[in-house]
Amino acid sequence: MALLEVKDLVIDIPVGVGTLHAVSGVSFSLERGETLAIVGESGSGKSLTSLAIMDLLPKRVQRRAARLAFDGIDLSTISAAGMRRLRGNRMAMIFQEPMTSLNPSYTIGDQLTEALTCHRKVSASAARDRAVHLLEKVGITAAARRLSQYPHQLSGGLRQRVMIAMALMCGPELIIADEPTTALDVTIQAQILHLIADLQKEFGMAVILITHDLGVVARVADKVGVMYAGSLVETAPARTLFRHPAHPYTRGLLDCIPVPGRTVPGAPLGAIRGQVPNLIGRLEGCAFRNRCDLAGPDCATPIPLVQPEPDHAVRCLRAMIPEAAA
């Protein structure tokens, strides 16, 4: 059984003039110890998807799914208390903004140990020891001394390390990292990503990495899901995706970054023309068709899922299927 199953996840946001279909029909599954990267532009619904799994969506946002299950537990029918027992305990989250994600009024130590003591009956000193141990694990020196420091006394990179340590406090089976490096300096970004990848191997957790950076994906992900305008347009193993991107949007994305062996040296990088469509109101057909060079009138009809390989799925009528598979 997969650790996480998501089937036909729909997220609607009521706005003044109608309903914004932020996520429509996203499906994927994740095995234990696996790393899934979800890629997409801002506004594609990838962050909302991750918040939906954790049940952390704002009140006015509506979530529906044909199936949403963690380790066989149905998350769409679970009680609030039951969800709380999972959250932070068996599934944890790392957020985008390390600068504002820690409470300014409490020490690092207090916030770290709280993550453990609210789920386990452990002594304060045991919780403290675990906090020190994990701070060292995430590469923070003088960990014991950091416990009595306040968030404003740490740099952004250090705070993100603290957030990672906090997510690890209960030894979760799933970690969702929502653009964990976006707010950090470029030099720090690589360190944090390597850290997450190393910890994932060491503790055998499953990881969902939300990012808009394909370069990151290539290095750490087992599987990749590409999101566009609220739907998952292509899912594939990382190697397949980079070698044989099937969806025109995925190919457009890959043309925008230099990839060794794919980008022609000296040739200009690509760009995707046009803009992300407005998601308010009823949507029919492929959301990418207004920006797609291959689009035809039939793209306005519902698009079936094509599976060139068992673990490769793409939602496009004109998907570029590699010959070996076809």
Partner 1 sequence: MLAFTLRRLVVAVSVAFTVSVIAFTLLHLSGDLATAIAGPEASAAQVAEIRQQYGLDRPLSAQYLDWLWGALHLDFGRSFYFRDSVASLISERLPVTMTLGAISLAISLIIAVPLGVLAAVYRGTLIDRLALTFCVLGQALPTFCLGLGLIIVFAVNLRWLPVSGNASWQNYVLPSIALGWYAVPAVMRLSRNGMLEVLSQDYIRTAYAKGLSPARVILKHALRNAIIPVVALAAVQFGFMLGGSIVVEAVFSMHGIGHLAWEAIARNDFPVVQAVVLVLASIYITLTFLADVLNALLDPRMRVA
Partner 2 sequence: MTMPLTSTDTSQSPLDLPPARRAPLLSFLSKGFGHGGFLLGATLLALIVVLALAAPLVAPHDPYAQNLARRMVPPVWDAKGNWAHILGTDKLGRDYLSRLLYGAQISLLIGTVTVLISGTIGTVLGVCAGYFGGRVDAVLSYIVTTRLALPVVLVALASAALVGSSLQGVIIVLGLLLWDRFAVVTRSATQQVMGSDFIAAASAIGCSTPRIILSEVLPNILNPLIVVATLEMAHAILLEAALSFLGLGVQPPLPSWGLMIAEGKQYMFFSPWVIAIPASALVLLVLAINLVGDGLRDITAPENRN
Please, is 186 exposed, middle or buried when counting C-beta atoms within 10 Å of its C-beta (0-12, 13-18, 19+)?
exposed
177 near partner 1 (CB under 8 A): no
CA distance 264 to 273: 20
How many C-beta atoms surround the C-beta of residue 301 within 10 A? 11
* Interacting positions 272-301 with partner 2 (CB under 8 A): 276, 279-280
CA distance 96 to 105: 20
58 versus 310: smaller Cβ distance to partner 2: 58
Stretch that binds partner 2, among 12-20, 88-96, 143-151, 253-261 (CB under 8 A): 12-20
Tokens 């992900």 belong to residue: 221
* Interacting positions 43-62 with partner 1 (CB under 8 A): 54, 56
Choose, by CB under 8 A, the member of 19, 25, 33, 43 that binds partner 2. Answer: 43
127 versus 246: smaller Cβ distance to partner 1: 127
17 near partner 2 (CB under 8 A): yes
* Strands (DSSP E) found in 213-324: 223-228, 231-237, 306-309, 312-314
71 near partner 1 (CB under 8 A): no
Q: Tell me, what DSSP letter sits at residue 300?
A: G
Shortest separation between residue 104's beta carbon and partner 1, angstroms? 6
20 near partner 2 (CB under 8 A): yes
Return the axis-axis angle of helices 156-168 and 186-203, rounded to nearest 10°. 10
45 versus 157: smaller Cβ distance to partner 2: 45
Closest CA to 318 of 225, 249, 231: 249
* Contacting positions for partner 1 (CB under 8 A): 54, 56, 84-89, 92-93, 95, 97, 100-106, 114-115, 118-119, 150, 152-153, 163, 166
* Contacting positions for partner 2 (CB under 8 A): 13, 15-17, 20, 43, 276, 279-280
